[in-house]
Amino acid sequence: MTDARQAAPESAAAEGRSPARVADTLHRSAIQLLRRLRQEDRRSGLSGPRASALSVVVFGGPQTLGALAAAEQVRPPTMSRLVRAMESEGLLLREGDAKDARVVRVRATAKGIRILQAARARRLARLQVALESLPSGELATLDEAAALLERVARTL
């Protein structure tokens, strides 16, 4: 007799739920969702790279250029140009480190925070409208799935 731990992988595979298939579906869905929600960023005047870099600084606190470049997976000269442009728009500000004069950190200005928060609010509002059309059971399933996705993301 098979116990539940052995039967679960077999039934998941029989239903076409292999980790590879689920990974493919999640990847595709996440990209589609993000692309559609990023359309709201245009209203704030933020390009995708600017919104992303600003988000890292707003939610992660002041960053060195190197750390910001690493977080955004770009080369430091590319990030330096992006930060320079965002500084000229009043979204970011460079400041020296109090403990080490050689270190320069980038922080968000009040304007940068306001613009990012407004863009995020528009994204969330658009997503909320879509979620409101779902039956309560599907909404509960998505809520549970979101918690699972956060857990998976922490392992990557």
**Domain of 32: which CATH number?**
1.10.10.10
SS3 18: coil
More confident residue, 110 or 40: 110
Q: What is the mean pLDDT of residues 149-155?
A: 94
| Within-domain flag for 5 | no
Confidence of residue 83 (pLDDT cuts 50, 70, 90): very high
pLDDT at 11 over 80: no
Note whether residue 8 is domain-resident: no
Short-list 44, 35, 43, CA closest to 54: 44
End-to-end CA distance of the chain: 36
Residue 69 burial by Cβ neighbours in a 10 Å radius (0-12, 13-18, 19+): buried
How many separate domains does the chain show? Answer: 1
Report pTM: 0.77
CB atoms within 10 A of CB 126: 14
